[in-house]
Amino acid sequence: MMPRSVLSRCARLTQQVPLESARSTRHGVHRGMSSVTIPPPACMLRPLEAPFRYLFGPGPSNVPPRILAAGGRPIIGHMHSEMFGIMNDIKKGIQYAFQTSNNMTLVMSGSAHTAMECAVFNIVEPGESVLVAINGIWGERVAEIAERMGAKVHTLVKTPGGHFTNAEIEQALAKHKPVLFFLTHGESSSGLVHPVDGVGDICHKYNCLLLVDSVASLGAAPLLMDQQNIDILYTGSQKALNAPPGTAPISFSERACHKMFNRKTKPVSYLLDMTHLSNYWGNDGKPDRIYHHTGPVSGFFALRESLAILAETGLENSWKHHTEVAEYLWKGLEDLGLKLFIKDKDLRLPSVTTVAIPEGYNWKELLAYIMKHHQIEFTGGLGPTVGMVLRIGFMGYNCNKANAAMALAALEDALKQCRKSKA
């Protein structure tokens, strides 16, 4: 309970400012006359409405009450010592989740795209060569990001659902001599989990850094940053971590730090410049943290709680649990006569399952039916997989057999009710 004195102070703070005082003559406006020509919009005078939905797609996933409560706590200043303490805790939580002892571990204030851009902008200088593995949308995105900042982009391409052998990667590294190689661990547009073993070693043999996207896979499929020699790893808050969208953990190896802190040119983005961000996160060894930008305080509270839940659960338990629920879902989907898009079970992403769109059905109609009648979100494909797959995801809090059974029942119902539609 808050003390009475605090409550009454809060009440005073939230009291409406009388309209009259807003019509200040100091601003050249006469008392009694309104200076605004645009009235308050009617929608803003209605309460916020956001329906409950079962978010069983590729993310965001539902946020558990404990994390929502953490995000809903009264905020403190982004430069308060307590906030720095919370950021230090978050850093430790990420080091555990990524399995890294990298000092340069922090959180981007923004969605996972911010982390993608931060990695590319800080590591690569204009004119340098970058190699991007494209087997779905995320490679396409990183190639575009690198191209926009003036890198020489080379691609290694497979159709969605395909993966690259280490020999293919080595051949391309030898040919293009990139400073950075990008690989998506959990390809959420195709449902593939890409093997990472050995890739870091090959990259280092060619003096190249390995950048890995684990947005859709972190906490759901095994990934060990240090043991697998990954130089830059990032993820998002809104998938298996179950925090609201808007923060993105990232970590850089010593090798990556050496490259990014010895560059000749400044990174194109001020906001994403790691010289500043490393100070903001207390990673640069300097005694004081200097204001750079106002971090999303509530987002950091929520992220800390989500990392605490992962630490309590244990990474290995989390991986095992996601696999068990995914296997239950895959069997249920096959029992419905559906075909899984990724044939090899070992290459299926446990967090996001892709189902080939059954013949004779309009995928948009199936999704709309399920949303309308079951309040469940599944999604269609993304980028190159649009029109090819439906995507069903169970991550973190959502990941249990009861939810998977509910999803299967909804899909079965939709397959019956939408039967007559044609793709």
Pattern 117-156, binding to ligand PMP, x per CB under 6 A?
---------------------x------------------
CB atoms closer than 10 angstroms to residue 174:
11
Contacts with ligand PMP by CB under 6 A: the residue count is 14
Examine residue 59 and tell whether it contacts ligand PMP (CB under 6 A).
Answer: yes
CB of 197 to ligand PMP, least distance (A): 19
Examine residue 216 and tell whether it contacts ligand PMP (CB under 6 A).
Answer: yes
- Write out the binding residues for ligand PMP, residues 88-117 only, by CB under 6 A: 111-113
Examine residue 242 and tell whether it contacts ligand PMP (CB under 6 A).
Answer: no
Name the segment binding ligand PMP (CB under 6 A); options: 184-192, 303-311, 328-336, 393-401: 184-192
Name the segment binding ligand PMP (CB under 6 A); options: 69-77, 117-125, 213-221, 355-363: 213-221
Examine residue 276 and tell whether it contacts ligand PMP (CB under 6 A).
Answer: no
CB-based contacts of 128, cutoff 8 Å, min separation 6: 151, 152, 178, 179, 180
CA distances from residue 59 to 170, 178, 193 in whole angstroms, order as listed: 33, 32, 16
Examine residue 236 and tell whether it contacts ligand PMP (CB under 6 A).
Answer: yes
Examine residue 350 and tell whether it contacts ligand PMP (CB under 6 A).
Answer: no
Nearest to 86 by CA among 262, 307, 318: 307
| CA 264/CA 152 separation, integer angstroms | 17
The strand pairing partners of 183, in sequence order, are 212
Structure tokens at 396: 């973190």
Examine residue 215 and tell whether it contacts ligand PMP (CB under 6 A).
Answer: yes
Examine residue 351 and tell whether it contacts ligand PMP (CB under 6 A).
Answer: no
CB-based contacts of 292, cutoff 8 Å, min separation 6: 276, 277, 279, 280
CB of 232 to ligand PMP, least distance (A): 14
Binding site residue list for substrate:
391
CB of 111 to ligand PMP, least distance (A): 3
Examine residue 305 and tell whether it contacts ligand PMP (CB under 6 A).
Answer: no
- In terms of Cβ atoms closer than 10 Å to its own Cβ (0-12, 13-18, 19+), residue 296 is buried
Instruction: Tell me whether residue 214 or residue 323 sits nearer to ligand PMP (CB atom).
Output: 214
Maximum Cα interatomic distance, the chain, rounded to a whole number of Å: 77
CB-based contacts of 155, cutoff 8 Å, min separation 6: 131, 132, 133, 134, 139, 143
Examine residue 188 and tell whether it contacts ligand PMP (CB under 6 A).
Answer: yes
Rg (CA), the chain: 24
- Positions touching ligand PMP (CB under 6 A) are 58-59, 111-113, 138, 184, 186, 188, 213, 215-216, 236, 245
